[in-house]
Amino acid sequence: MESYAVSKIDHIIKSHSGIGVKVLKLQLFACPNISAAVLDKWFVTVIKPGIEELSLEMSSLKKRTEYNFPCSVLSNKAEGGTNSVTFPLLLCFSSYGDSWLQHKLDKLAWMLQMDRTAQVKDIRLMGYNEADTVCYARTKPPSILPNIESLVVSSPNEMTSTPVVPNKFLHLKFLEIYLKELFASLPSYDFFSLVSFLDASPALETFILHVEQQFERHDSILDGEPTDLRRILHDGHANLQNVTITGFNSTKSMIELTTHILENAPSLKCITLDTANFSGKNHLAMGECSPMMRGGILEARRAFEAARRHIAGKIPSFVEYKFLEPCRHCHFGY
């Protein structure tokens, strides 16, 4: 199966000169043993001036632990000239292997840093089995990829709170984070720690947070009220205009994060809090949701009450506030 897939991809790439190709997406989950030489040949053939997006998706490697991306292809000389070509590039990396994603981005970003002509503007980090991908994204990319304008991070197993570090995303305008919480028995993620991302991104205009959960929270802010909320007051989010949170829940840290945004984003225009899981959204059915588990429905009701008590009264008059509850499809069977 693998040799057949590699052969088909190779045939397609050989038929291309690379000129005019803007997007290259390689999905190689069925090819865990593909050789570095083959990958190099494909990249050299297709990546030419004008490329805008490079996406590499593959599983963890069984027989090979190293692959050094040929960054020289990102600084090809213009034909007949001496000036290097600058690529406003989108890099997308997905993996199903322990620490594979973080290891590969470490090596690639270091090489791109050595090659100053590669101006990486957009990064997508999609971890499937790796832990703490969000924590990694906050720590490493700011210093090694300083020109990032758009960052999308997905983590199915975030066990560590986002750290406060001095590294800055000085040009970041768009931030989207996906968090999947699989087990109700594990400690809840500290959503308030995501303030570290906001603090590090003075140019940020759009912040989107997706939380996937199917259980009722065991650490709801509604339990044991009243409570003191953590607060950090400063003017670091002056450009933040649009905020969306799907999978909004009743945890204290979620309320703290939302309150922080309302108190520290003077340019905020719209904030949307959606209690339905992002994973349940059926984009083919005009935005309606798929049925949610009973625990998710109960938590959505608690989230509504938590927002009513702790969020609604803090919305500035100039901010459009949208609170979305699960639709009738979500309630199917409950």
pLDDT tens track for 9-48:
888 888 776 677 888 888 777 776 777 788 888 888 888 7
Is residue 40, in this structure, part of any structural domain at all? yes
Is residue 109, in this structure, part of any structural domain at all? yes
- Cis peptide preceding 32, ω within 30 of 0: no
pLDDT in tens, 192-208: 999 999 999 999 999 99
pLDDT in tens, 159-178: 889 999 998 999 999 999 99
Helix axes 36-46, 2-14, angle to 10 degrees: 20
- Residue 97 DSSP code: S
State pTM to two decimals. Answer: 0.76
Is residue 73, in this structure, part of any structural domain at all? no
Is residue 330, in this structure, part of any structural domain at all? no
Decide: 162 and 135 in contact? Cβ < 8 Å.
yes
Is residue 72, in this structure, part of any structural domain at all? no
Mean pLDDT, residues 125-139 taken together: 78
Q: How far is CA 308 from CA 157, 163, 222, 313, in A?
A: 30, 30, 11, 8
Is residue 67, in this structure, part of any structural domain at all? no
Mean pLDDT, residues 280-296 taken together: 56
Is residue 74, in this structure, part of any structural domain at all? no
Is residue 116, in this structure, part of any structural domain at all? yes
Enumerate the β-bridge partners of residue 130.
none
Mean pLDDT, residues 322-331 taken together: 72
Position 259 pLDDT exceeds 90: yes
Structure tokens at 239: 């450009």
pLDDT at site 110:
47
User: Considering only CA atoms, which of 298, 141, 129, 146 is closest in space to residue 213?
Assistant: 298
Mean pLDDT, residues 149-162 taken together: 87
- For the chain, what is the domain count? 1
